[in-house]
Amino acid sequence: MFKLLSKESNIFSIPVYIGFLLLIVITFNLLNFNTYEGIIAGITFLGIALGYFCFHSIALNYQTHLPLFLYTFFVFGLYPGNLDIGIAVALLTNSFLLLLLTSTNEDIRKKSYVLVGSIVALNFIFLPTTWPMSVFVIIHVIATSERIGLNIFRFLLGIVLIVFSYFSVMFFIDFKSWNIDYFPFGKMKPVTDYTELLPLIPVIGMLIYAVYDHFRNYNKKSPISRYKYTFLLVFSMAQLITIILYMNKNYEYLLLLAFPSTIIISRMLRFLPKYWMQEVGLWMLIFSLIGFKAGTYFNLF
């Protein structure tokens, strides 16, 4: 199977995988469908579907089918069927952030920082626990920009525009009380019971090995590859902080790591020295995600 998935894909391959994604979303929402759930399912579908196009934009996987296939399986294994609207919006906004911030064109990035700030602020409004993303963007600006102060100002301006618009709308509709839920720092509940995550041990092990292998061969990578891969690692750290601090038993938070994990693992599989290692690694991932899905769906743990 690995050899089949290693064949070059093209833009016409994406609608096929999006079709599978649509089938997954419809199947898991069929029994409890209503207008509200339908809106959430639609936002979730758009956010995850946009991720397929991010693979071609980031271009770290040599345009093969492998990342598209693994991404579909990650979504199947981690998608519970009834997402909170905050997670759904976070998936959509994360896809836009990936498209904007992974551009190697400094001119495009600096012109998009106001939009990036607006997206981060919108993300916080729907899911306050995603505050680490704003820290990640500031670190990204400091590390990659020539005019740090100006670009941070642009980023903060985008945040201020959304915050001002939000409070204006809330005041207009007579919502004048402050909701304490928008202050997430008093609600940190780190994960203490890892029993239901045991089926994901192969996935976690491969991620750790992939990061180790990347830095072991760091000097062999091209400058663009190093930049984009480092971006994904820092982006993943921001998501991981949110997951560790706030996930608890809400395992849908793991969907925030589906896209970067797919790229990191698929690159690792591609560079394994033996074909049998690639094939075994691929099937271990598949069975690991299926096992996690079965465990959470049927409450086996």
Could you read off the pLDDT of 129-140 as tens digits, one per residue? 899 999 999 998
Contact 144, 246 (CB under 8 A): no
What's this model's pTM, rounded to 2 decimal places?
Answer: 0.90
Query: What residues contact 282, with CB distance under 8 A and at least 6 apart?
Result: 1, 2, 5, 269
Domain residues for the domain of 162 are 2-297
In DSSP terms, which residues pair with 138 in a beta bridge?
none
14-27 average pLDDT score: 82
Length of the chain: 301
**Over the stretch 137-151, which tens digit does the pLDDT of each residue have?**
999 888 887 788 888
| 242 to 52, 59, 106, 190, 286: CA distances (angstroms) | 23, 26, 28, 10, 25
Q: What is the pLDDT of residue 39?
A: 87
Number of domains in the chain: 1
The pLDDT value recorded for residue 301 is 59
CA distances in angstroms from 222 to 59, 120, 214, listed in the order given: 13, 30, 12
* 11 pLDDT more than 70: no
